Structure 1
Amino acid sequence: MTATAPTAEPFRASIMQIEPQWIDYNGHLNMAYYNVMFDRAIDQMWLQLGIGPGYMKERGGSTFTAECHVRYLREIHLGDPVQVSVWLLEADDKRLHTFQQLRHATEGWLSATSENMSLHIDMGSRKVAPFPPDISARIQTVVAAHSAVPRPEGIGRNVAMPSKR
């Protein structure tokens, strides 16, 4: 585990590059690979929280995604460097509510967002279970730090037809 003191800013994942096989016949990043990059960013943040692969192996806990809402806002193309920022918005004893933004790493424009609900799982029973107290405390520290940051636009959006005016 590489836990560090949380700061009042979203977690920023490593800069990623678009892989050639991820480009679809429209010449842009296929929708499935946005989720791959969001997932890689979450994996990096989970390491900071102490709930990565080592946690699963040593303590028998992991997380599963229960719900995901992705918004595709601007095309990403081969050669574009990207970076994901992650806000840990809320957490209780068994759930984590996160919001992610995928931005062009050098130009800064927003390409996509992903809002997720993750569940803590006891891998022995494969059922939802409370986080251990030390992990829960670490999570609440990050939630408190991230709550000091302005919330990005798009949290809590749902899929619906535009309203008529």
Structure 2
Amino acid sequence: MAENIYQKTIEVGAAVIDRNGHVNNVVYVEWMQELAIGHASTWKVDDLMAEQGTTWFARKHVIEYLRPIHLGDKIEARTWIASAERVKSLRRYEFLRNGQRVAQGETEWVYVDAETGRPKRIPEQMHSLIRTDD
């Protein structure tokens, strides 16, 4: 999995803090999407998708909040592709503060025809680019 991990550091600013004094729940989904896009850009999958008229749609997000994240925290955010089969891919995420996991999640992504929105088999070229663990 080590070669498949994409990570970035997030410094928690005031804009993402809710009235309970911690990071708002919807922000995690935004972070997950940013991580997925950043990770995919390292493989230049946009070129292949443009050529084939395809894209990825999120089918399902799951997030488990283990500890609250507060203003000023530095979070190590990681993502990797756990599996890819037929038309879907499972991407996992973890968020760590000082090496301790504070949240984790996953997104089920579906590969689709960009014009119709209908699922499309993930091409072999995509499999070779995304380097899954399966």
TM exceeding 0.5: yes
Query: 1:48 corresponds to which residue?
Result: 42
Instruction: Give the alignment's TM-score, normalised by structure 1.
Output: 0.72
3-state secondary structure, aligned to 2:42: helix
In the other structure, the counterpart of 1:24 is 18
**2:19, 2:32 → 1: CA distance?**
22
Q: Does 1:72 align with 2:50?
A: no
Per-residue Cα deviation, 1:111-157 (whole angstroms, up to 9, x for no partner): 11112211001102211111232112223xx22xx46xxxxxxxxxx
The sequence identity of aligned pairs, in percent, is: 22
Structure ID, larger Rg: 1
Query: Which residues of structure 2 form unaligned runs of 5+?
Result: none
- Paired position in structure 2 for 1:150: none
TM-score (norm 2): 0.87
Mapped to 2, the partners of 1:58 and 1:20 lie a distance apart of: 40
Partner of 1:118: 109
Answer yes or no: is 1:99 the counterpart of 2:92. yes
Paired positions, count: 134
Contact kept in structure 2, 1:103 and 1:112, CA below 8 Å: yes
**Partner of residue 87, structure 1:** 80
Q: Is the 8 A contact 2:91 2:108 kept in 1?
A: yes
Q: Does 1:38 align with 2:29?
A: no
In structure 2, C-alpha distance between the alignment counterparts of 1:63 and 1:49, rounded to whole Å: 15
The 3 A distance-change label for structure 1 pair 111 and 120 is: same
Is 129-138 or 116-125 further displaced after alignment? 129-138
Structure 1 moving runs of 4+ over 3 Å: 7-10, 54-59
Give the corresponding residue for 2:119: 128
SS of the residue corresponding to residue 128 of structure 1 reads: coil
Determine the C-alpha separation between the residues in 1 that align with 2:101 and 2:4.
15
Q: CA-atom RMSD, angstroms?
A: 2.0
Taking the aligned partners of 2:116 and 2:23, their CA distance within structure 1 comes to 37
**In structure 2, distance between residues paired with 1:16 and 1:55:** 29
Work out the CA distance in 2 between the residues paired with 1:12 and 1:119: 20
Listed one character per residue, the Cα deviations across residues 21-60 of structure 1 (whole Å, up to 9, x for unaligned) are: 21011111011101111111111111134334x5544442
Q: Quick check: which one's strand share is greater?
A: 2
